[in-house]
A and B are shown apart, each in its own frame.
Chain A
Amino acid sequence: MSSTGASIIDELPGPDGRRPLSGDQAGTGRLGDRIFKAAASGAGGIVVVLVVLVGAFLLITAIPALRGNTANFFTSRDFTTSPLHFGIVQLLWTTVMSSIIALVIAVPFAIAIALFLTQYAPRWLARPGAAVIDLLAAVPSIVYGLWGAYVVAPKFVPVQDAIQTVFGWVPFLKGVPSVSGGTTILFVGLILSIMILPIITAISREVFAQTPMTHKEGAIALGATKWEMIRTAVLPFGKPGVISASMLGLGRALGETIAVMLILSTIPNGAPWTWSFFNGGSTFASLIASNAPEAISDMRQMGAYIAAGLVLFVLTFVVNVIARVIIERRKAFTE
């Protein structure tokens, strides 16, 4: 069991090909059975209702603020709540870009570590190694924020300066003089990549470990080296699992709040804007967390933040559905 809170092992038939149990309809229809079944089904119902309510309540409470909004919600870069003048372009850009940077860094590492733990590591190291990677998921995100903002960021400044000097001609890598101290979108992406590494690793590990022994032995018998065996047997088998793990990791990165809030330099309203990874900014989550507490007693202003939260909810919802669909298709493929 991993502490990442995500697992796909239960989606798959066990090694002996048995499907997971589903309701065996052994209930007797006696009072005790009926009550217990109602309680269990009710709990399942609560889960469904809660998720639906999250979307519904966010939408309903955001409507008054959206009506009073004097800017175009989808095309404006401003976000002021008194008067209501807000749009999501800048938030969307910062959120998506920092998460994609995180994904680009984390996925290769996660795949390599999962391969290491399932195919390469000596027996004595495999289990403790996996537990150590899982520990990264146990570190509270505010600790990542503190560590990133006050310990790593100053050390990361020379690296970013070097990147700017060499690749400054690339449109997205232009230097931004107003953001100092290394607390840029690029740096947030780096810290986020560490935070999502354990979840991607844990799921990749599970699917790699399930590669049928016959596939692996077949490759070896054909004279493949260990790496060729992995390339031809393990990786193709694990590909859908890795993709869906990456989507789950992306979902986590999109919604990460306090670490981003502590690290990323905010840009004051009306400051010049550039589409650079060395810019600061706010993600949906960090904007809500840093500004909403001041507006907590004003429902109209809160409506603007709830509208931003709704977009974040939809974004993570879509990403998670894609992850789920890929798993379902893989399930159909392996059964």
Chain B
Amino acid sequence: MTTTTPEIERPIVPGLGGRSASRTVKNTVATAAVWLAFLIALIPLVWILWTVFSRGFGSLLHVSWWQKDQSGAGAPAFDHSLRGARHAVVGTLLMGLATAVIAIPIAVLTAIYLVEYGRGRVARAVSFMVDIMSGIPSIVAALFVYAVWVTTLGWTLIPLCSSLALVLLMVPVVTRSSEEMIKLVPNELREASYALGVPKWRTILRVVLPTCFSGIVTGALLGLARVMGETAPLLLLASYTQYLNQNVFSGSMAALPTLINTQSLNIAVPIAADRVWGAACTLIILVLAMNLLGRFIARFAKVHK
């Protein structure tokens, strides 16, 4: 940075005598501060992962954790081999699947609309609403589904209701990521396809979407990971049950977050604490696995930023 000029040739201008001490100190302090901020931010992540894995991973090693639900011989005294979290794992996966089945088509089509069709004010309004939707708190989404399903239509709550609330949370995430990916598809590909006489809809389906398919899958997985960890809508809409239920259209259905919430009332009891941290560990593994899978798929994307 500094050139080595002989002392005698340096022009004698006040204030240009090299970098003053205070500027150097400020620069060093700033460098140290940003490093420190980054390192401090790692503390909670490491602490959380360590807490959850050290307290919860033990429960996952029991075969019954994956094979049994919480129904058992009613006595409070029981051991790990009697009950497990199968009902909650199955519930989380089923409700997540139902959410994905509804949300992904809406989100991808909305993204296609925004990139390929939308123009002017209408497109801006849709884009604006996607932003607003991504800011809707999960508990508000749950109240909305309640207001429609129970108050207005007078139906009884079923596990699908919480999936419907989760749809509201998943659509904006997947729309935004799909939109980003579709925009990355080079326009030349579309133009080449049009030039060959391929209609626009076939161009989108056969050229645009296959090109950015892995990116869309990544976005869908990240969105799904987000909603599977959601608790608030389930508290309101999917009452917890200790029995395995594999039907999203009737009854109550357990999920990992509601299992945690129910059992955390007795967290002072060791067996309840085992279940709480075990379920937290299962949930975090599930969510992180989907995140990592999404990022892994993104590596094989045909289009990159």
Taking a contact as CB atoms under 8 Å apart, the answer to whether A306 and B37 are in contact is no
A41 within 8 A of B: yes
- Give the total number of A-B pairs whose CB atoms are below 8 A apart: 324
Decide if B241 is an interface residue (CB 8 Å cutoff).
Answer: no
Q: Which residues of B contact A48 (CB under 8 A)?
A: 125-126, 129
Q: Which residues of B contact A1 (CB under 8 A)?
A: 177, 180, 215, 218-219, 222, 298
Q: Are A40 and B48 in contact (CB under 8 A)?
A: no
Least Cβ distance of B51 to chain A in Å? 5
Evaluate contact between B27 and A227: CB separation under 8 angstroms: yes
Contact flag A120-B218 (CB < 8 Å), given A23-B119, A319-B135: no
Interface contacts beyond A1-B180, A312-B140: sample of 20 additional A-B pairs, CB < 8 Å, sorted by A: A1-B215, A1-B218, A3-B294, A5-B176, A10-B183, A40-B110, A44-B110, A44-B126, A45-B126, A54-B144, A57-B152, A58-B144, A108-B37, A139-B287, A141-B231, A143-B48, A146-B280, A285-B232, A312-B137, A320-B134
What is the predominant secondary structure among interface residues of chain B facing chain A?
helix
Task: Report if B82 contacts A (CB, 8 A).
Answer: no
Known: A10-B183, A293-B236. A116 touches B37 (CB 8 A): yes
B204 interface residue (CB < 8 Å to A): yes
A120 touches B125 (CB 8 A): no
Chain B residues near A323 (CB, 8 Å)?
131
Chain B interfacial positions (CB closer than 8 Å to A): 19, 23-24, 26-27, 30-31, 33-38, 40-42, 44-45, 47-48, 51-52, 105-110, 112-119, 122-123, 125-126, 128-141, 143-144, 146-148, 150-152, 157, 168, 171-173, 175-177, 179-180, 183, 187, 190, 194, 199-205, 215, 218-219, 222-223, 225-226, 228-232, 235-236, 239, 257, 260-261, 264, 267, 276-277, 280, 283-284, 287-288, 291, 294-295, 298
**A86 beta carbon closer than 8 Å to chain B:** no
* Max count, chain A CB within 10 A of own CB: residue among B33, B236, B288: B236
B139 near A61 (CB under 8 angstroms)?
no
A255 is contacted by which of B140, B180, B203 (Cβ under 8 Å)? B140
- A258 touching B201, Cβ below 8 Å: no
Task: Give bound CA distance, A251 to B116, whole Å.
Answer: 30
The DSSP consensus for interface residues of chain A is: helix
Flag the segment in A30-38, A77-85, A176-184, A274-282 that touches B: A30-38
Interface size grouping (class) on chain A: 35 or more
What distance in Å separates the Cβ of A245 from its nearest Cβ neighbour in chain B?
13
Residues of A within 8 A of B129 (CB): 47-48, 51
A contacts, CB < 8 Å to B: 1, 3, 5-7, 9-10, 20-28, 30, 32-33, 35-37, 39-48, 50-51, 53-54, 57-58, 60-61, 108-109, 112-113, 115-117, 119-121, 129, 131-133, 135-136, 138-144, 146-147, 150-152, 194, 197, 201, 225-228, 230, 248, 251-252, 254-258, 262, 284-285, 288-289, 292-293, 296, 299, 302-303, 305-306, 309, 312-313, 316-317, 319-321, 323-324
Asked if residues B180 and A9 are in contact (CB atoms below 8 Å), the reply is yes
Find chain B residues with CB under 8 A from A258 CB.
Answer: 231-232, 235, 257, 261
Nearest Cβ on chain A to B232's Cβ, whole angstroms: 4
In angstroms, Cα B257 to Cα A302, docked, is 23
Q: Which residues of the partner chain B approach A115 to less than 8 Å between Cβ atoms?
A: 34
Q: Which of A39, A129, A299, A313 contacts B109 (CB 8 A)?
A: A39
A47:B126 contact, CB within 8 angstroms: yes
On chain A, the residues within 8 Å of B235 by CB distance are 258, 289, 293
Bound complex: CA A313 to CA B133 (Å): 10
Minimum CB distance partner of B133 in chain A:
A51
Determine if B229 and A136 form an interchain contact, defined as CB atoms under 8 angstroms apart: no
Q: Is the CB of B288 within 8 A of A135?
A: yes
Among B151, B277, B283: residue with most chain A CB under 10 A: B151
Residues of chain A lying within 8 A (CB to CB) of residue B48: 139, 143-144, 147
A selection of 15 A-B contacts at a CB cut-off of 8 Å is: A10-B176, A22-B118, A37-B201, A40-B112, A41-B117, A45-B126, A47-B133, A47-B175, A58-B143, A112-B36, A135-B45, A140-B283, A150-B267, A230-B30, A317-B135
| Most A Cβ at <10 Å: residue of B24, B119, B136 | B136
User: Cβ of B230 and Cβ of A140 under 8 Å apart?
Assistant: yes
Tell me which residues across on chain B come within 8 A of A296, comparing CB atoms.
146, 150, 157, 236, 239
How many angstroms between the C-alpha atoms of A117 and B51 in the bound complex?
27
Could you tell me the distance between the alpha carbons of A225 and B18 in the complex, rounded to whole angstroms? Answer: 12
Q: What's the least CB distance linking A4 to chain B, in Å?
A: 9
Chain A residues whose C-beta falls within 8 Å of the C-beta of B146 in the assembled complex: 296, 302, 306
- Which A residues lie within 8 Å of B33 (CB)? 112
A contact residues around B190 at 8 Å (CB): 24, 26
Cβ of A262: which chain B residues have Cβ within 8 Å of it?
261, 264
Q: Name the residue among B113, B147, B171 with the largest chain A CB count within 10 angstroms.
A: B147
The answer to whether B131 and A40 touch across the interface, beta carbons within 8 angstroms, is: no
